[in-house]
A and B are shown apart, each in its own frame.
Chain A
Amino acid sequence: MKRRTIAARSNWESIVASQGLTYHHVAGRPYWNETSFYEFSAREIDNLEEATNQLHQMCLAAVQRVIDEDLFARLRISAPAATLVRRTWEAEPPAIYGRFDLAYDGAQIKLLEYNADTPTALVEAAVVQWYWMKDNFPGCDQFNSIHERLIAKWKELLSYCGTPLYFAGVDDAAHEDLMTLTYLADTAQQAGHRVTLLDMAEIGYDHDSYHFVAPTREPIRSIFKLYPWEWMVAEEFA
């Protein structure tokens, strides 16, 4: 792994914003920095992928242990939420994506965090760096296929998901979550789903039919939410 320096594209802010990275600055400082990049060998990438897959399996094993040994209280997961966790674990609904934060020095790989609930940094990893690479090194490869794999996964789920497929979250001034949701919805749409974006507050509950409903009062059959479970289980609809 080599760290290289490079000149930023002259109009990089407008470029990345048009690609969905509207939050290229945070608190007045650049969040997106394209004055350096990392160059990997194929073997290094293979090692990272293998480690990531192993870590995912280890995280699943950890959840299995929590369930088997009823360790929910130690994780501050309430009894009603634990019931839902068990039920979901048995039903195995599809998982779309998660984000591993790894420390890597070219040899050792260390897990810093696994965010499998509300991961962002997706637009950056799947879209913006790809276009950056095409502008600077059109013959190179970015060594990830997040975009293609998301579309492939959504295609797998065409018969599983209800229509429309909803994407819900909250927006704020930086629009990071909105752009992440919109990107995911874009990939689902390309896979053939009819998609609808919602704010979390727009989700309704029909007390007669016991359904969560859209603003149109249509029952929500399938939804992707970019909103923490620990918030949801503490709110009114919980």
Chain B
Amino acid sequence: MKRSRTVVLSLLSATALGLTGCESRKELKTCVDPDNVVQDDDKCRDVDRRYPYGGSYYHWIYGGSSRDGTYVSGRSRMFGGSNAPDAGVETATPSEAAAHGGSISEGHVSYHGFGASAHGGESGHAGEGGHGTGHGGAGE
């Protein structure tokens, strides 16, 4: 008897096509130091204000991944990506992308109490998978 009969997907397919198709998207940007170690976004925002033409110590990396499993002083190191965003693509930091317009605190409801560890905190990867490259992943 067959164990697996059918795999029909709708939500996953639609999301995958949305990510790989030509629809508008935001490219994630991450603030790093010259060693590509992830830093607080404010450091790069300060640089943007003072050195609008770039070339400074802290800078943004567009795209890339923090999944190479390398950590420096508790912070993850970015891998890949580029120093300039893709043409015509909006950019956002992970926290900006996550916010979707939500505010930090609205009345008696607070947001952003979870998620900081994944955005330039102690690590950069939640799921542990088969890459063999992720935080605590199969390659450990």
Partner-B contacts on A (CB < 8 A): 14, 17-23, 26-28, 31, 101, 112-113, 115, 117-121, 123-124, 126-127, 130-131, 141-148, 168-180, 182-183, 185-186, 189-190, 195, 199-208, 213, 215, 217, 226-228, 231-232, 234-237
A-B contact pairs, 18 of them (CB 8 A): A19-B13, A20-B9, A20-B13, A23-B131, A26-B133, A28-B80, A119-B127, A120-B128, A143-B4, A144-B4, A145-B5, A147-B4, A174-B65, A202-B99, A202-B111, A226-B126, A235-B115, A236-B112
Selected from B27, B98, B128, B134, the residue in CB contact (under 8 A) with A170 is B98
Contacts A172-B66, A204-B113, A206-B109 supplied; 7 other A-B pairs, CB < 8 Å: A27-B68, A177-B125, A199-B97, A201-B115, A202-B98, A226-B127, A231-B117
Given A174-B65, A176-B129, A226-B126, answer yes or no on A18-B80 (Cβ-Cβ < 8 Å). Answer: no
Bound-complex Cα distance A31 to B114 (A): 29
* A236 touching B4, Cβ below 8 Å: no
CB distance from B42 to the nearest CB of A (A): 17
Return chain A residues, CB-CB under 8 Å to B73.
none
Which of B15-23, B43-51, B52-60 lies at the binding interface? B15-23
* A197 → chain B closest CB, angstroms: 9
Residue contact B16 to A22, C-beta cutoff 8 Å: yes
Determine whether the beta carbon of A18 is less than 8 Å from that of B13.
Answer: yes
The answer to whether A17 and B9 touch (CB under 8 A), given A118-B128, A172-B66, A204-B111, is no
In contact, A131 and B7 (Cβ under 8 angstroms): yes
Docked pose: A78 CA to B15 CA in angstroms: 38
Query: Is B8 an interface position by the 8 A CB rule?
Result: yes
* Among B98, B113, B131, residue most surrounded by chain A Cβ atoms (within 10 Å): B113
B33 within 8 A of A: no
Which of B4, B16, B114 meets A130, CB within 8 Å?
B4
The docked-state distance in angstroms from the alpha carbon of A21 to that of B108 is: 40
A237 → chain B, closest Cβ, in Å? 3
Given A175-B19, A200-B114, A237-B113, A27-B130 contact (CB < 8 Å): no
Are the CB atoms of A170 and B15 closer together than 8 Å? no
- Residues of B with C-beta under 8 A to A190: 8, 10
CB–CB B3/A173 < 8 A: no
Cβ 8 A contact of B17, one of A18, A173, A235: A18
Contact of A121 among B100, B109, B117, B130 (CB under 8 A): B130
Residue from the list A27, A120, A232 in contact with B127, Cβ < 8 A: A120
Question: Separation in Å of the B93 CB from the closest CB of chain A?
Answer: 11
| Nearest CB of B to A78, in Å | 15
The 7 closest A-B pairs by CB, nearest first: A120-B129, A237-B113, A121-B130, A200-B115, A201-B115, A120-B127, A231-B117
State which residues 97-140 of B face A: CB under 8 Å. 97-100, 102, 106, 108-119, 121-131, 133-134, 136, 138, 140
Q: Which of B5, B13, B65, B118 contacts A200 (CB 8 A)?
A: B118
* Contact partners of B95 in chain A: CB under 8 A: 201
Give chain A nearest CB distance to B53 CB in angstroms.
25
- Min distance, Cβ A109 to any Cβ of chain B, angstroms: 16
Q: How far apart are B114's CB and chain A's nearest CB, in angstroms?
A: 4
The one of B20, B64, B126 in contact with A118, judged by C-beta atoms closer than 8 angstroms, is: B126
Contact of A186 among B11, B126, B127 (CB under 8 A): B11
CA distance A190 to B8 in the complex (A): 9
Question: Is B32 positioned at the interface, with any CB of A under 8 Å from its CB?
Answer: no
Chain B 54-97, CB-CB to A under 8 Å as 1, else 0, gives: 00000000011111100000000001110000000000001101
